Structure 1
Amino acid sequence: TAGGTEADNLAVKGLYWSRQKDKVRPRILVSAIEHHAVLDPAHWLEKTSGAIVELIPVNQKGVIDLDELTKLIAKNETDVALIAVMWANNEVGSVQPIEEIVKLANAHQIPLHVDAVQAIGSLEIDLSRINLDSLAISGHKIGAPHATGLLVLRNGFKVDPVLHGGNQEPEVRSGTINTAGAAALGLAVELAVAKQAQHAARLQALRDKLIKEISSLVPDCVVNGDLENRLPGNTHFSFFGASGDSILMLLDQQGIEVSTGSACSAGVAQPSHVLMAMGVDLFHAISSVRITLGTSTTETEVNQLITKLPQAVATARLAGLNVGKKEAVKE
């Protein structure tokens, strides 16, 4: 595919359409913290194709509530078109209990799509022991060229195409195949999987150091997400009383790049839907900063961040969040 977004769209739309052929199955069960590449096509199907989107709740750690998912399925398992759950969250880094979710979906014969864009190369993914129907990855996350991605479908599993015209790739995706991009993506996946354990161990050590030091220097900070089962290179803090956007700009002036949410939602002036689904209050949500460590991140850079971040928080707190509070009261 041309990336993770296309792969997710093809999976969600294609699975939904294919599941309507022998029986109307309007319900799409989607985790409340999904990437918009999954949420948006699901809601589009709701507007255009009669779908009913039901959000699967998560707990305060950003992890799927399996009991709630079981209840949603039990309402009527025969009218569920598909379940969509990301392997690991792109904002707070929480890793989902994918094996348990797969077993639950398989037990009720409901197709499961997993967005593994954040997981590939960072977590162990062994499809030989997980009976997964559909999985999406994006090339640029693991060093492949931009505009490359992959949708893995279980052997014999059918989805309706989104693109029509040439019936390439077993009639799933029409269009001339990007041979060079596919070759580069294949090599990138091979290397990412081979180096996953070493890569994860290095990033986890840096991540744990960052969390420990910042929690000590800014004692009232909150670390969002699951502290145990999270992406090795992800940290996500809330600094109450400081605007996340202010912290971002203050660090940017010093050559340090962080974000206040999903990289794909940069510039969107609203609290993260992920944090809100986790039950985080508005003021902690807008005071949050996401810090992602990657392949090229060095310990020197982490030490620089540890030195600069507390001062950025202090400066941002001087500006305060009074405007946001007044607006919230009016609402």
Structure 2
Amino acid sequence: MEKVSSLSNSAAQGKIKLNIDHAIDFAPKPRSTRNYGITIKYYNDGKAEVAKRLDYQIHLKVNQFRDENKVWQLCFDKTDLFIDRHEPDFVGEQLASMGMGAIYPLKVDVNSRNEIFRGIVNHGEILNRWKQVAEKISDKYEGRYAELYLEKMEKKISDRFELEYALRADMFWNVFFHPQYLKYDGNLSHPGTMFFPVIAYKNVSFEGIQSVEPNYTDYGTFKVNFSSESELTEEQKIQMAQKGSLKMKLNAAFDLDQDGGLLKHARVDWNLYKKEKGEEISIKRIAFSAYEIESSIPATDQHLLIQEGNNGFPVEKKKGFWARVLG
């Protein structure tokens, strides 16, 4: 199995190649793995200091079905949650971390546009894990807060469609499954919509322009950009507890593998601001980043293709992740 560094394919510069539909191909290698470090920073009132910070890791394993053309199974695990650079210590944080351990690993089947079309396919495994986690929570915590959390999670996890809907409020989920494998026009752009949960537990749609740069990057990736700017609606002002004339910008940048189109890195910057005397004054800002820590690509043989998913996960190297969290 070949280990792939973050600067592989440096000689792959040149004009990008799109498929017959003038789109980027999504065709990740079977049994390939990729580990991402995720960092989310929240800023308030234009301050440079971070008001809140979340760090965690996502471990992705790709499988491909032997008997279905252009169908992949993606298995995500989510680990190492840190809040403001420390392990969860408040009760609410600990409950969220334990709940995360029930939901993940999570498997979905996707097509050649990286679109989920069968929903969550290992819901039974999640239900079994939740039973064990719920018992641990009941043994460890007492009081109405823990009871309400268990009731809420039970409702969310027991219904597969409810759980899928809840994932739409996850930032990494929205970034990874943002539509990027669609037809681009002659200018390598098209109007698009990006969903990003800048309001707690609520996905927000951003209308904007998406484009792909004409040349591969120095490190062998497609570079896709998305930009949006709009005024805050009255409903959004209420949800954000804001008043007055406000605007918001969202800018996103994605690096996709030249070979296979799998997400390598992503950055999303959202800014809520007002204008005074011609100057933009930031009120709230969110900076999201997903960066590749490690990946591996095995030789592609027919015996590597699957008829059913498996649960194996690679052992990750944490050096890059911990350096960012603790450095």
State the TM bucket, normalised to the shorter chain: under 0.3
Give TM-score scaled by structure 2 length.
Answer: 0.24
Task: Please state which structure has a larger fraction of its residues in helix.
Answer: 1
How high is the TM-score relative to the length of structure 1?
0.24
- Larger RCO: Structure 1 or Structure 2 (Cα < 8 Å, ≥ 6 residues apart)? 2
